[in-house]
Chain A
């Protein structure tokens, strides 16, 4: 399947053509509400003849492979700073032009400050209404027509209220025409008789033709008095740079809307999407801009990829943290070790046991640090590992959770397995922590965990991990290895997903058996 490169067109609406396999296409068509999509103007077209999927919504780039859909989403909340359309539309240019023409910077400065906080046209209009010179204006009417659409929007914005309704574009157009014709921009109801514009009283209006929208902007006093000279001057000032702001705001709004629609569509098709920080998009013509990549993965692979990503990040982060910790703790522990050695040599017989306890604590502390560091070290190598010793080491790290649990280690002490000690340690660590927490929560009288090793054949061994708790409820069993599934209030839901991933990395398998009351995991490994 070919990837089409993403066209770097000047307008925000980019169209990208793609090829996809028949299977994917069928699935998409069967479940995408294509009609709805089209109504919302997200430009999703499916051309079945050449199995061609075209998607456009702002800066969306779609790349289809047989079993994946990668698409790239530019940071949608960044407003394009350079629009290739007329230079007047760029913010920087606007303020430059106006600074030259006007001595009073009040409006410009205010507008620029407000700009940062303006989330959409409603906020923006409210800011305008707050301006001193606009104090007599109660309402701003915004008539918005996205070019090419048969429906337009009429927004009525006051300082604490907001109304929005759709109007036919034909009405919009006739209003636009009248407004354009007028010379002084000041209207009473007489001038626009016959237009269903819904503005009460006198108002000042101007029409703007932006790249993607036509807008009629009106300041309404909501009374029948005529505008003052000052107000006319003010309006003339303001109408010079309102269009630039409006353009950016409306484009942004539109982009968000389209994206929302696209997301809705993708949420409804039976292909899962997930975040990936990597992209497989090969873009020969253009550099790949930075952003988030959504990767669509087959259902079965979904869990592994998620777990993989989070696991790697976690290991890297914790590995670094632990290294720092180890370095910081080494000096104090060393000092303690040496001075307690001195005490041991100086102290009288009766107190010797106490000092020995101190020495013992110090070596325990160091052991814990070493074991934790090992747990999160980066390691791909397989070694001969003493399983009994490994389990014991991991147990020292789980003490905070497994304190009251009796752990029965049914593993011959001489057993050596060929495995990755770091991954195996993490697998055991996770299972022990999970069980311990569940046992604690269920208040079992004598909580117990059992870890048993059996050699099932020359090349295979089994590890049975069980506890005497309440087990996992039947309704959850098929979900427990899925990423983000958790029954704990503060759980991440990643523990078992990562465990399963690590087991499979070791060419093993893990299953949950619900034959017994407690939890029972069967792990199978090739030796």
Chain B
């Protein structure tokens, strides 16, 4: 299973990477949204875990750009948005793409990890 983590907080990036690798996934990680878009276009990912607040662009921008590679159905299955607080605005946008939202910190660690590793 190939996973891409897009997150600019290094501690989060590294520990999430370790947790997922331990569970058998191949993990790429980047802090930059624009780099992430390149990676998405060049490689194959089963899951993309994307923070909303990135240094350069937002998570939703990344999703928009990935439309060049994915169908809408794929987007809803592959992307998982992680965010501090799922405000109404965020939820609405996520609904547009149909993808999952996870709050940080996780409300339930095991459930969250499960979601990240399930192949749909």
Contact = CB atoms under 8 A, between A and B. Distances in A.
Interface of A: 323, 326-327, 330-331, 333-339, 341-342, 345, 362-363, 366
B19 A338 contact: yes
Given A335-B11, A338-B11, A338-B12, A330 B105 contact: yes
Given A334-B12, A338-B11, A366 B85 contact: no
B15 A366 contact: no
B60 to A, nearest CB: 17
Contact of A341 (B9, B15, B84): B15
14 contacts: A326-B84, A327-B85, A330-B84, A330-B105, A331-B9, A331-B84, A333-B105, A335-B15, A338-B11, A338-B15, A338-B16, A339-B15, A342-B18, A342-B19
Nearest to B106: A337
A155 B32 CA distance: 75
B67 interface: no
Contacts of A341: 15, 19, 109
A338 B104 CA distance: 10
Given A333-B105, A334-B105, A342 B9 contact: no
A311 to B, nearest CB: 23
Contacts of B15: 335, 338-339, 341-342
A339 B11 contact: yes
Interface in B79-119: 84-85, 104-106, 109
A326 B85 CA distance: 8
Contact of B9 (A327, A335, A345, A363): A335
Contacts of B16: 338
A344 to B, nearest CB: 9
Contact of A330 (B11, B19, B85, B109): B85
B25 to A, nearest CB: 15
Interface string B41-73: 000000000000000000000000000000000
A335 B84 contact: no
A323 to B, nearest CB: 8
A375 to B, nearest CB: 15
A333 B109 CA distance: 13
Given A338-B19, A342-B15, 8 more contacts: A327-B85, A330-B84, A333-B105, A334-B106, A335-B9, A335-B11, A335-B12, A341-B15
Given A335-B9, A338-B11, A330 B104 contact: yes
Contacts of B22: 345
A339 B22 CA distance: 13
Contacts of B11: 335, 338-339
Contacts of B106: 334, 337
Nearest to A333: B105
Contacts of B18: 342
A335 B104 CA distance: 9
A336 B106 CA distance: 11
Contacts of B109: 337, 341
A334 B51 CA distance: 12
A320 to B, nearest CB: 13
A330 B20 CA distance: 21
Contacts of A363: 105
A337 B105 contact: yes
A198 B70 CA distance: 98
A334 B85 contact: no
Contacts of A331: 9, 12, 84, 104
